[in-house]
Every structure is written in structure tokens, then in C-alpha cells.
Structure 1
Amino acid sequence: MINNANFSTLKNNLLVNNGWRCFQIGVFFLPSSALISYIFLLIALFEGSFIRRDLYWRDYWNYPLVLTSLLMLVGCIRSQTGWLAWIGLFNWLPFFWCFWGFQPYLLTTERRRKCASWLVLGSLPVLITGFGQLWLGWKGPWELFDGLIIWFISPGGEPLGRLSGLFDYANITAAWLSGVWPFCFASVIRPFIFGRNRVIPFLLSVAFVLAMILTNSRNAWGAIFIGLPLVVGSASWSWLIPLMVICFIPIVIAVLPVFDAGLQQFARSIVPESIWMRLTDIQFVDTRPFEATRIGQWRIAFNLIFEKPLFGWGAAAFSIIYPLRTGLYHGHSHNLPLEIAISHGILVAILLNLFVFALLIISAYYKIFNKLRTQKNLIIDRAWWTSALILICFHATDIPMFDSRVNILGWLILIGLRCIIFNPDTDKIVFKEN
């Protein structure tokens, strides 16, 4: 069992470990080249699993994942979507292994800090291509290394007018940027990406926030307001939260129809039109049918769950059944817990949700908001926890995890939470000697 005496030895061993090098390369290339990233991350996964001599079953955090896997497999046998149900398992089962195999690379605060740095730096192509497509009319595809890297860039964004960069859709880009920007912002408060330099992280943070705004994603806008106070920490809440409330008041007045017309018109003259129109969906008020709204989709989703509650319909069922019942197409239900319940049943949805929220709550209660921890060790883990909360909020009204790069990002964040909880005196994680 690893203890405090050999914990520093493990850190030093990881510094020269081939798996650790591959892990860093994979994280860096994750947003810009899925192929390169997957190759290096797969090598790191095998290496990370190999250096552990303890069994997968020894970690109690794996228990819900094992039970979930069994229920998913049984559900596939009984599914209504045939081979699609089996293909859908690749969104889950490999990452249950990653949750265990990648832990050696995120065990320490220093390793998490390094990983966060590569996520920020690896996001630069997303920012550059995003700004270029909106302001300079860039369009792809662009090929690098004889087609090893291909960037499909839509001129003017996808959808038109919304920043999407290297991703297929603006909402996916919004999820990626929102999940990474807390790390960039944390480096402004306590520098770690460029040594002691705060200027470059500050400029990058501004670029992240601007890009998040230009995605025209309401989730991304909310992520900015959620992330600021959480990354800064409770010591600054006495002045930061009132300041944020003051800035938010004009937006509330511009959006809600309960205020005086003159006052609302004044607020709308202050708030950019694209923001208050997006928040009210006023442009769709006469053209969008009820079935095309989130509430309409969730109503159908609940009906599907109640019809097959135990093992679900199988992966991709919503995209098949929803058009048959409404005449409209949607690829998913825009809510991850509902989507899991539709595809794999209520038991699987409960297990996975309890697993994620247990990581979030336990890490917050015992580690993140523990006043006994020093600010130096806390800032990166606070940013890590903030990223997890933001991605969870995203999946309440959308499912960006169906982009494999965002899915991997989400699991890296969950693995980091597990490692934040890790206690070298009690957790039985055994490593092979190099």
C-alpha cells in the first residue's frame, strides 16, 4: 500500500514514466487531433494500468461502474435498437477502465496542475480558428502532416454566426471552453502555466471568455458567472458576488416580462441585443413548435422512460423514436440523466448520477472547501472542482459528451476528483517498482 513515505518517490517515478509523457501529449492534442490524442492516451492507459499491482476490484469507487456495466450489457441483449445499443457502449465502458487506469497520472496536485496547463495550451487552436472563422472568414478543411490532422472549419461558425472553431457545433465548443477556462483563470490568481507570469494567463482568460460569449451558448454564459466566484474562493465573495449581482440586474430586467416596459427598454439598450434575445428566445416565439423546445423533448423522454423503466430501449433510441412520435428530429433528449434512463434504464441512470455527485460532494466537503488546506495547494483543485460542476450543468440541458473529446475531458475531470479525495494513508493503491 502506498503511504506518505513513498508517496514522493511515486511522484518522482512518474516524472520519467513513459506513460506520463504519453498522457501529457494526449491531453495536449485532445481538442485539435482526436486520432493523435487517442493513440497516446491509449498507450498511457495501458502503462497506467500496468504499474498498478492492486486489483481493479480493490477500489470501492469502481463498484458502481462494474454494476452499471453489467446492467448495460443485459440491457443491450433486450434492447429495441439492435446493433446501435452495442455501439453505444463505447460511450461508457472504455471510460470505466480509464477511470482506474489514468489515476496514477492525476494523483498529486502537481500532476493535476500539469494536466490543466496542457488543457489550456491545447485549446489555443480552438480559440484561434474560432476567431478566424468569425472575423476573417476562415474555412476548412485544413490538413496537417499529410492528413493526420484535419480541421473542418465552417466560415462564419456552425450554426452561422456562432463560434465553433475545430468542433462540429457551437454548443460543443462552448462545453469544451467552459470546462477548461477555470484552469486558465486559476493561473491568473496563482500563476502555474507560464511560471510566475500573470499577463499571458490573463489575456488567455479574456480570450476564453470572449470565445464563450461568441458561441452564443447560454450554458457558456452561465459558466462564466458560476466559475468566477468558485475559482476565486470564498475569501473574495463579500465583494465579488455583490458586484456580479449588480452586473446581472440589467440582464434580468431585459429578459423577464414582469418589469415596466420603459425600464425594460432601457435595460435592453444597455444589454447587447444578442444576449437578451438569446435568453428570451424571442426570435423563436412564433416559429418553434412546443415539441422542438427542451420541455417538449423532456416530456417525450419521460414517457419513454416510463414505458421501459428497467433496462431502457437501447442507445440512440431517442433519436429513432422521437421523430416517429412528433415528426421532428432530435439526436438526443438534451438532458444526460434522462438520456441514460431512456437508453439503459432507471437503475443505470441512478447509479451513474450517484457516482458523479458523490465525487463532487465528497471532494468539496473534505478537500476543496476545507479551510485547513493551504491556498497554494487549493487553487488548482478548486478550479478542477469548478470545471466538474460546469460540465455537470451543461449536461442538464444538453449532451456535449457525445463528442468524444468532450467525453474524455469530462472523465479526466472525474478522475481528478477521485484523486483529490485520495488519501495515501488509507486508500489501497499499490504500484510496481520501476
Structure 2
Amino acid sequence: MNNAYFLNLKNNFLDNIGWSCFQLGVFCLPSSAFISYLFLFVALVNGSIKRRDLYWREYWNYPLVLVTFLMLIGCIRSHTGSLAWFGLFNWVPFFWFFWALHPYLLTPERRIKCASLLVLGSIPVLITGFGQLWLGWEGPWEVFDGLIIWFVSPGGEPLGRLSGLFDYANITAAWLSGVWPFCLASVLHPFIVGRNRVIPFVLLVAFIAAMILTNSRNAWGAIVLGLPLVIGSASWSWLIPLMLICFLPVIIAVLPVFDFGIQQFARSIVPDSVWMRLSDMQFVDTRSFEATRIGQWKVAVNLIFEKPWLGWGAAAFSIIYPLRTGLFHGHSHNLPLELGISHGILVSLLINIFVFSLLIISGLYGIFNRLNSTKNIIVDRAWWTSTLILICFYATDIPLFDSRINILGWILLIGLRCMIYNYKSQNISIKKI
């Protein structure tokens, strides 16, 4: 690709209404999807002006165009009728989104601003989450004559798990996990509130506490995964052994390979809610195999093999799974499998290759490249880590069905694409660790 393509974008959109609307849309995203969509739509239109003829020069768009055609063909032959067409809204508009929002994340300074807004915009999630658990707050709360509605469940949703203004604790966990690396990065290299470290540290503690209180295993894993990646490889020689020592009691309490006496001692140290949650012992007598993730994935794989090329159509799993097992689940709890069921193996492969290519190439050029001396590298590491964390979420859940999480994911992917351009324009060659 011609480098002047992106450079022209940077100059054309440096100071315009699109950038202001993008910032407002990002800040409002967790609190009000509707208001965020209005601002982001203006940013999308503004980001597309004078660029329609350049869409085909962006080679990262090619797999998305092919996926669009395959999805459309699949919808024509789907088994879920209108649901298949409605399912396209989870994907096709975001292929335009990926291209049109490049100008707003093109520079490191803009990515830093976006990261700050994601953190600050998450404060209502934290406040409502702590309020529902500790103060018994209960919604719905309406602002601006119902324009913003927060459905805050007293005691959390499910009960006892922090969900805040989101509908479900796992969705809240996905949002907080995707944003918390920016808090950690700002503690190490302040950027959220000037050079102040106190406020980012308070927010970091609040984020970690909220993630723990969601009782989401994915969120707990995000804490463990995020620390060494954001802090950087220079710390791994002491940080990873220290983390292993700290988590050793949890490992002993969960894995059934240790001596019974030692395991019981570890379980006396580790809170019951933690080791039981990690080992799934609370369901040992009440949960059938079909209700587990493995049971759902087994059915999902069978469905893919039955219609491998174009799939069954969107929402097929939620229709067919109850017919075959007598149990209801809205999705297969694994995004590659869900794509394979709904749209076929080719679509699933193309989307996964697209996402992992962005992740790997941006990592090799910048995040894990010893030749990269960019001063904002820690923010890029946090950005890369946030993307990886959300990808890991999609291995055991599908939070993108909440459009706010879907938008967050695409914003992170756009940032990776812009990082690759930045690193290439600086002529940083690839050098492994």
C-alpha cells in the first residue's frame, strides 16, 4: 500500500467534527449505546468522505469483502429465515466501521486519547456495579426522558455477581477486561489525567475489584494475563515467578493431582467461591454434560460438519440445540464455532485469519520488537493486550452480541491496523525477542 494514503488521511481529518464525535462516541459507549451510535455514525460518515475510491487500496479490507459475499449467499440458503439476515448486522456494518474509523486512531496520540476515554467512560459501570452489590441499588434509571436507561439489578445479575449497567455479569467482565490494561499502563506511564498517577491507581484498584466481583473466570484470567504483557518482557524474569508463587495455593486447590491433605490445606486458604468456581464443583451434582461448554461445543462441531460450507444461518444454534438436547442456550460459547455454524467454515477461517494476522503482525513489528524504541510503546502494549484478552473471551463466550462489546473489539482491531502502519512508516524491521 502507498504510505501517502494514510498520511493524507491524517492531514484531512486532523481537526474536524468527526474527531470530536468519535471521542464523544467512545466516552458514551458503555453508558448509552444509543447516544454513542449517534456520535459514531457522524464520525463514520466523516471518516468516509473523499475516500470511497481508496477503499480497494486497503488490502486488509479484502477478506472482509469476501466474507460479506459468503454471508449473503449463506443467508439466501439459510435455514433460519429472517434471523439470518438480521444476524448480518453483527458483522457487515463493522466491516465499513473498520475502514472508516482509521483516521481517528492513526497516530499514537489519538490512540492514547481513545484509551483515556474508554477508562473514564467506564466509571459509571464501576459505580453502578459497586452500588448494586453493596448498597442494594435497583433500576431501571432513566435520564433525558428515557433516552438513557440503566437496568441495574439489585445484588447483580446473576444474583451476587457484579453486572452494573450491563445486562449480565459476563458482559460486564468482558468490558472491564478489555479496558483495564489501559489503567495499568497509565499507572506505569501516566496519560489519563496529565502526569497524575494517583487517579489511575485508584481506577486500577476499582477495575480489578470489579472484575473479581463479576465472578467471571475469564475476567480473573484477564488479570493474570494482562499484568506481564502490559508491564513488558523486561519484568518477566521476576514478575512471572512471583505470580506463580502467589497463585500456587489456587493451583493446588483446583487441580486434582495433589495430595489430599495438601489440597485441603490450600482450600482452607483460598476462598471457597474462588476454587469452587474454577473447578466447577458447585455444579458437580446438578449440571448435565450437555449444559457444559464441552457439551455445547460437541453439538456445535456436529452441526458444522452437517453443513460445512455456508452454514445454517445466524441464530441456528439457539434453535437446533434445544431440539437435540432439551436445553436452551443462546449461542455455542465459542466464536469460531458460532461462525462455522451460522456462516460456514470458510467464513470462520477468514475472520479468524484476519484477526490473528492483525494481532501477530502488530506484535512482531512493535510490541515484542527489540528494535522498537517508540516512547508510547507501553500504551501500544496495553492496546495489544486488551485485544488479546477479548480474543480469549471469545474462546469460551460470545460477548459481541452486546453491541457495545462488539464496537470495543473493532476499535481495538482498528488500532492494531494503525500501529502496523506506524511501525512500517518508521522503517522498524522485525526482530524477535
TM-score category by the smaller chain? over 0.9
Q: Secondary structure, in 3 states, of the residue corresponding to 2:42?
A: helix
Corresponding residue of 2:100: 101
Whole-angstrom distance in 2 between the partners of 1:204 and 1:27: 18
Counterpart code for 2:161 = R
Whole-angstrom distance in 1 between the partners of 2:16 and 2:234: 38
Q: Secondary structure, in 3 states, of the residue corresponding to 1:422?
A: helix
| Alignment check: 8 A CA contact 1:134 1:156 kept | yes
Bigger mean CA offset, 44-53 vs 307-316:
44-53
Counterpart code for 1:189 = L
Whole-angstrom distance in 2 between the partners of 1:53 and 1:250: 57
Structure 1 position 16, deviation (Å): 2.1
| Alignment check: 8 A CA contact 1:3 1:425 kept | no
Counterpart code for 2:55 = Y
Whole-angstrom distance in 2 between the partners of 1:397 and 1:288: 17
Q: What do residues 136-160 of structure 1 show as CA deviations (whole Å, max 9, x unaligned)?
A: 0000000111111110000000000
Corresponding residue of 1:174: 173
Counterpart code for 2:23 = Q
| Alignment check: 8 A CA contact 1:400 1:407 kept | yes
| Alignment check: 8 A CA contact 2:170 2:214 kept | yes
Whole-angstrom distance in 2 between the partners of 1:156 and 1:103: 40
Aligned residues: 425
Whole-angstrom distance in 1 between the partners of 2:71 and 2:48: 23
Whole-angstrom distance in 2 between the partners of 1:115 and 1:109: 10
Whole-angstrom distance in 2 between the partners of 1:332 and 1:49: 34
Matched, 1:204 2:197: no
Corresponding residue of 1:393: 392
Counterpart code for 1:386 = T
Whole-angstrom distance in 1 between the partners of 2:318 and 2:269: 40
Corresponding residue of 2:224: 225
Unmatched tracts of structure 2, length 5 or more: 427-433
Whole-angstrom distance in 1 between the partners of 2:200 and 2:10: 26
| Alignment check: 8 A CA contact 1:253 1:259 kept | yes
Corresponding residue of 2:137: 138
Whole-angstrom distance in 2 between the partners of 1:426 and 1:385: 19
Structure 1 position 319, deviation (Å): 0.1
Corresponding residue of 1:430: none
Corresponding residue of 2:429: none
Corresponding residue of 1:324: 323
Whole-angstrom distance in 2 between the partners of 1:425 and 1:171: 37
Query: More relative contact order in 1 or in 2 (CA 8 Å, sep 6+)?
Result: 1
| Alignment check: 8 A CA contact 1:85 1:315 kept | yes
Q: Structure 1's 179 and 424: CA in aligned 2 closer, same or farther, altered over 3 A? A: closer
Q: Secondary structure, in 3 states, of the residue corresponding to 1:156?
A: coil
Whole-angstrom distance in 2 between the partners of 1:144 and 1:285: 44
Structure 1 position 272, deviation (Å): 1.3
After TM superposition, the score normalised by the length of structure 1 is 0.95
Counterpart code for 1:135 = W
Whole-angstrom distance in 1 between the partners of 2:226 and 2:375: 19
Q: Structure 1's 252 and 204: CA in aligned 2 closer, same or farther, altered over 3 A? A: same
Structure 1 position 52, deviation (Å): 3.0
| Alignment check: 8 A CA contact 1:290 1:296 kept | yes
Q: Secondary structure, in 3 states, of the residue corresponding to 1:143?
A: strand
Whole-angstrom distance in 2 between the partners of 1:194 and 1:264: 45
Corresponding residue of 2:418: 419
| Alignment check: 8 A CA contact 1:153 1:165 kept | yes
Matched, 1:296 2:295: yes
Matched, 1:355 2:359: no
Unmatched tracts of structure 1, length 5 or more: 428-434
Structure 1 position 256, deviation (Å): 1.0
Corresponding residue of 1:269: 268
Structure 1 position 14, deviation (Å): 3.8
Q: Secondary structure, in 3 states, of the residue corresponding to 1:202?
A: helix
Counterpart code for 1:137 = G
Counterpart code for 2:16 = N
Structure 1 position 51, deviation (Å): 4.6
Whole-angstrom distance in 2 between the partners of 1:64 and 1:414: 14
Q: What do residues 178-221 of structure 1 show as CA deviations (whole Å, max 9, x unaligned)?
A: 00000111000000000000111011011000000000000000
After TM superposition, the score normalised by the length of structure 2 is 0.95
